[in-house]
């Protein structure tokens, strides 16, 4: 309950179960209070998801405009509802959305919460008191031509589209950080590794460029997945038959909603199918899992490459952001990649939740869309914060010891791979084994055996050539 409800005065509201006292300051009403008392699950409220509140306001606003256009809602009520929704869409009264995001009822409680807040604000705009529903009613007017089963899913679609935009921007920031390091370390040669064993030389810049490319691919796949959530079922009402919605309402509501949101929304060609199907969220959640896993793999690489500083790979040095141990002085841990790894694991869990909730839907409605919306919303929010944290507190501050990396390349047995075309596999293997067992360098042994001239050897084993640097 909002901390602003201080007077102790109440108003009485009635529903099918009976009467309840509502704080006079509250914009929510009896249906919201019953749901608040029933669902205390996450310790959070709908106010923590402003994208969903904004989307609900736009859905109700579009519905009011369509209802007025079709002659079902008079001008004064339509204007008041429109103004109330506009105010909420811009951030007003979000603290009045007091319900837990995980709830039974397929989102009915959330829809009721929105109807009541909008109705009571609209009543004030008309010069009435909160709760004077004889003048403007949450269900009869704000919810006119709607059901939770089309208003709530439509709002979730829109909210998901809104919430994905910050993640797309955050991935772009992270990709930019990797590209910047790719340019900075373009000529810094190091050993590449496969299966954690020395492979062939590459540059640190090439490593970062690879990460930047994979982030760009994931960003493109995520943007593509949003096309599925632009198809809405507003106008379906209870199960998709459009019962209690007038002819032309679905088209009019969608048109107004496109104008209000700026999104390319379309009405589903089959509203019965659309009302029961949550496949778009299954797909989007799967893409979020892909993004999370790819970023987590980058973090695994960062932790490996920065291991040490003396007894590990130590190819790169991560910026020190905090002390690493309460007992080991001077120890610094890769805490930023570690926290992003944990975000990724959480996203994988959210994806499983979405999968099971989608499968659990029955007949003409999926009752578990609240946990789908909550899970995807958390994945989007946490991945957005994780990408920005990884870029700003880790990638941007990475440094390397160029000379130490070059020495490792020059002493690596992996260099023998470049000799294979000239010496053959058997001779190259023999050189590699002797270098491994004696600790001597590959170049030293090739010269000693007279297999190549010094000039040929220098050309073949040039790290810059091996890494395919153009200059």
Active site residue 412: no
What SS3 state is found at 72?
coil
Cα separation, 278 vs 323, in Å, equals 45
Report the distance separating Cα 16 and Cα 113, nearest Å.
16
Q: What is the CA radius of gyration of the chain?
A: 30
Distance, in Å, from the CA atom of 194 to the CA atom of 198, rounded to the nearest integer, reads 7
3-state secondary structure of 373: helix
330: left (phi over 0), alpha (psi -120 to 50) or beta: left
Angle (nearest 5°) at CA 198 between 195 and 201: 120
Q: Say how far apart CA 293 and CA 341 lie, in whole Å.
A: 9
Catalytic residue among 227, 323, 325, 453: 325
Query: Rounded to an integer, what distance in angstroms lies between the CA atom of residue 317 and that of residue 302?
Result: 9
Residues 6+ apart with CB under 8 A from 145: 63, 66, 67, 72, 235, 237, 244, 245, 246, 249, 253
C-beta separation of 317 from 306 below 8 A: yes
The residue written with tokens 């047995």 in the block is 413
Question: What is the DSSP secondary-structure string of 240-274?
Answer: SS-TT--TTHHHHHHHHHHHHH----EE-S-HHHH
Just list the catalytic residues. 325
């Amino acid at each position: 309950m909002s901390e602003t409800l201080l007077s102790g005065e109440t108003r009485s509201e009635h529903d099918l179960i009976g009467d309840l006292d509502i704080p006079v300051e509250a914009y929510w009403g009896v249906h919201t209070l019953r749901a608040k008392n029933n669902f205390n699950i996450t310790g959070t409220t709908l106010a923590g998801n402003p994208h969903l509140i904004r989307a609900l306001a736009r859905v109700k606003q579009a519905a009011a405009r369509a209802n007025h256009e079709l002659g079902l809602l008079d001008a004064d009520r339509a204007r008041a509802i429109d103004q109330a929704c506009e105010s909420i869409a811009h951030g007003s009264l979000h603290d009045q959305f007091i319900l837990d995001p995980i709830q039974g009822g397929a989102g009915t409680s959330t829809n009721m919460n929105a109807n009541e807040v909008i109705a009571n604000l609209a009543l004030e705009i008309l010069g009435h008191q909160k709760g004077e529903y004889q003048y403007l009613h949450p269900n009869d007017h704000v919810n006119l031509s709607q059901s939770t089963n089309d208003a709530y899913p439509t709002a979730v679609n829109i909210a998901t589209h809104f919430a994905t935009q910050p993640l797309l921007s955050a991935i772009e920031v992270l990709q930019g950080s990797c590209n910047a390091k790719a340019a900075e370390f373009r000529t810094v040669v190091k050993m590449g590794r496969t299966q954690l064993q020395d492979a062939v030389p590459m540059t640190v810049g090439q490593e970062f460029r690879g990460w930047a490319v994979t982030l760009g691919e994931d960003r493109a796949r995520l943007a593509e997945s949003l096309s599925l959530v632009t198809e809405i079922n507003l106008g379906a009402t209870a199960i998709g038959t459009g019962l209690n919605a007038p002819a032309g309402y679905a088209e009019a509501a969608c048109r107004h909603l496109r104008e209000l949101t700026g999104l390319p929304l379309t009405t589903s060609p089959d509203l019965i199918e659309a009302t029961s199907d949550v496949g778009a969220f299954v797909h989007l959640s799967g893409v979020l899992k892909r993004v999370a896993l790819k970023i987590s793999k980058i973090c695994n690489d960062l932790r490996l490459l920065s291991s040490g500083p003396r007894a590990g790979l130590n190819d790169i040095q991560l910026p020190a952001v905090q002390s690493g141990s309460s007992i080991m002085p001077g120890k610094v841990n890769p805490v930023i990649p570690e926290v992003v790894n944990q975000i990724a694991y959480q996203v994988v869990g959210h994806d499983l939740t979405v999968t099971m909730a989608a499968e659990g839907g029955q007949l003409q409605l999926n009752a578990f869309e609240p946990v789908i919306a909550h899970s995807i919303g958390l994945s989007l929010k946490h991945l957005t914060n994780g990408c920005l944290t990884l870029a700003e507190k880790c990638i941007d501050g990475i440094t390397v010891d160029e000379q130490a990396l070059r020495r490792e390349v020059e002493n690596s047995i992996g260099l023998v791979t470049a000799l294979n075309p000239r010496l053959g596999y058997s001779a190259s293997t023999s050189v590699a084994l002797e270098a491994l067992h004696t600790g001597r360098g590959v170049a030293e042994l090739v010269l000693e055996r007279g297999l190549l001239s010094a000039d040929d050897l220098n050309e073949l084993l040039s790290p810059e050539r091996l890494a395919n640097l153009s200059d």
